[in-house]
Structure 1
Amino acid sequence: MKSRFLAGLLGLYLEGLMPYRKHREKKYETKYREAFKVFQEEIGITFSDEKLLIQAFTHSSYVNEHRKKPHEDNERLEFLGDAVLELTVSQYLFQKYPTMSEGELTKLRAAIVCEPSLVRFANELSFGSLVLLGKGEEMTGGRERPALLADVFEAFIGALYLDQGLETVWGFLKEIVYPKINEGAFSHVMDYKSQLQELIQRDGSGNIEYQILQEKGPAHNREFVSRVTLNNVALGLGSGKSKKEAEQQAAAEALKKLKEQL
């Protein structure tokens, strides 16, 4: 009898909490919708389907705690966004660096779409403050977790592609990602010739040419001497066991000189 009485009291207590919980959740969701509205204004893009935008920022921990509501997490959008990001960045690099080898293009793209880079892009747009998280994830610092932020950035790209198409994605990356490539943020992964080319293109200084000035030594131990010029003005000399190595060394010397002048 006593246990039934206590169970009844507990039921009444929980029933009394329901309106409060609903009010609190509604207030929470209203706050996020307002935040997403401001976010869209800041990036100059308005989603036709706002549910896609919200899904991009919805972590699986939030979905697990709100099973009665039709929430979807961002994992599928992350999968799509990863592919869209690789495609658009690949196209940009292919067009920007017509003389860069496949290996160098791959290395540069990997540096641009790696986790630390995506986290940097996400932080610049304050993505962490928009993520819908479960309480446990929130308490363990999920908003600042690098892997989570990188995933959200990819999911956002996926959502943007579905809602607006590739052209809008390209325009967004042109504002957020491509300028960093042009500023030399990823030059450290390029070889010397590519770094020199990137530096000259950034400054709009002119055309680079490489010349083999000398070949010496026997066939089995050949040595090449190369010179790199900019608008017919010598920038650097280099030597090596192959033409490519000699050109790389010439580019390295040219880079050193140019950086000393900056």
Structure 2
Amino acid sequence: MSKRTHSQSAAAAATPDGQPSPKRAKSETGATPQISLANSLFKWTSSTVTKTYPPLPPVADPALETAALTHSGMRKSLSDPSYERLEWVGDAYLEVIASELIFQTFPTLDPGKSSQYREMLIRNTTLGQFSVHYGLDKRANFPAEFGLGGRVNGTKASERQRVKALGDIFEAYVGALIRADPADGFRQASEWLKVLWGSVLERQIREEEARGNPKDKDISAKTQLEQLIGAQGVKIEYRDLPSAGKKDRDTKQLLYSVGCFLNGWGETGLQLGYGSALGKKEAGQKAAQMALENKKVVKKYAEKRKAFVAAKAAQAEKEAEGA
């Protein structure tokens, strides 16, 4: 399934309260998996992130496991199951689990950035690596042109087709794992995926912890800069800068670049800092943070502000005495 349609597939496989739709997510065995997000998913912390792969959870139903690893073209008869249906429902479960983990771990992350994080977890290149690590490619019964199991006759499928097939196999395995155990499959899959995915977002998880609780963290860099050097008639301006095609190293998305400029204290358009990020707001904060870190410059204009405030106070006192 194309990763461009994940939100559509998730909506088709789950109802608004998080329960799978009985019509669309009915188990191959006739049972509906029990899903409890509150009991299955907790946020990532740096202490839970590990580079070690967890054991592959076994699929309780051998027939479903076989189906998850069987291409439709390799069935003995048209009535035999194959991976397609399990890949479809597994894709939806992966999106739900990834979304909940991101939602809990990054409480202030905007929806656009949250979607980018989720894409890092569920894209075919990521899932395909998991398939290869666990040897699902070698166990898969796919046409020889995919070369998934090192079979003879070479590989005729394109690399893109092969990567998609490896991702599909993993999605199908997740679908089989959950469908085969309606009572406990979702919890088991969630805990397994949380460990697998932790290393993918390790840097982001550690950065989130470094920022601390949003309720307790310090005021923003922009506000700090304004308080230090801002005054009447002094303007701190944030303007777009050429991005030069720079991309985020994880999502490969183009970055916004924003510059922080001072107009006042005898300066016109003096650049104090710059920052790059996936969003303009974050880029502006990074620009302000860079300005704050230039202690010499901040001290210079902070002293000008202090003198200005003192002069205004003296003037006000003088006017009050003459009234």
1:120 corresponding residue in structure 2? 129
1:247 Cα deviation from its structure 2 partner = 1.1
Q: How does 1:132-147 map to 2 (within 5 A)?
A: 132-135=141-144, 137-138=146-147, 139-141=153-155, 145-147=162-164
Q: Is the 8 A contact 1:122 1:128 kept in 2?
A: yes
Spell out, residue by residue over 1:93-129, the C-alpha distance to the aligned partner (whole angstroms, 9 max, x if none): 0001011111110111112211111112222212211
Q: Hey, what's the Cα distance between the residues in 1 that align with 2:64 and 2:289?
A: 47
Question: What does residue range 81-230 of structure 1 map to in structure 2 within 5 Å?
Answer: 81-135=90-144, 137-138=146-147, 139-141=153-155, 145-164=162-181, 165-181=185-201, 183-184=202-203, 198-199=206-207, 201=209, 208-209=217-218, 210-211=220-221, 212=223, 213-214=225-226, 215=230, 222-223=236-237
CA contact (8 A) 2:70 2:141 kept: yes
Q: TM-score, normalised by structure 2?
A: 0.48
Q: CA deviation at 1:135?
A: 4.5
- Give the structure 2 partner of residue 62 of structure 1: 74
Q: Is the 8 A contact 1:119 1:150 kept in 2?
A: yes
Partner of 1:247: 285
Alignment partner for residue 65 of structure 2, among 53, 65, 86? Answer: 53
CA distance in 1, matches of 2:290, 2:70: 47
Helix, strand or coil: the match of 2:81?
A: coil
Q: Which amino acid aligns with 1:131?
A: A
Structure 1 equivalent of residue 88 of structure 2: 79
**Greater per-residue helix proportion:** 1
Distance in 1, Cα, partners of 2:290 & 2:117: 18
Q: Is the 8 A contact 2:60 2:177 kept in 1?
A: no
Superposed, 1:14-33 pairs within 5 Å as none
Q: CA deviation at 1:150?
A: 0.6
Aligned equivalents of 1:61, 1:252: Cα separation in 2? 58
Structure 2 gap segments, 5+ residues each: 1-53, 148-152, 239-259, 262-271, 293-323
Percent of residue pairs bearing the same amino acid type: 25
**Could you tell me the TM-score, scaled by structure 1's length?**
0.58
Supply the RMSD in Å over aligned alpha carbons.
3.9
Q: Which string of whole-angstrom CA distances, capped at 9 and with x for unpartnered residues, describes residues 118-162 of structure 1?
A: 1122222122111012355553436x8211101101101111111
How many residues are paired up? 187
Q: Is the 8 A contact 2:106 2:208 kept in 1?
A: no
Asked if the contact 1:223/1:239 (under 8 Å) is kept, the reply is no
User: More relative contact order in 1 or in 2 (CA 8 Å, sep 6+)?
Assistant: 2
- For the Cα contact (< 8 Å) 2:56–2:134, is it kept in 1? no
Equivalent residues of 2:71, 2:82 under 8 A apart: yes
Q: Name the aligned partner's letter for residue 160 of structure 1.
A: L
Contact conserved, 1:216 with 1:222, CA < 8 A, in 2?
A: no
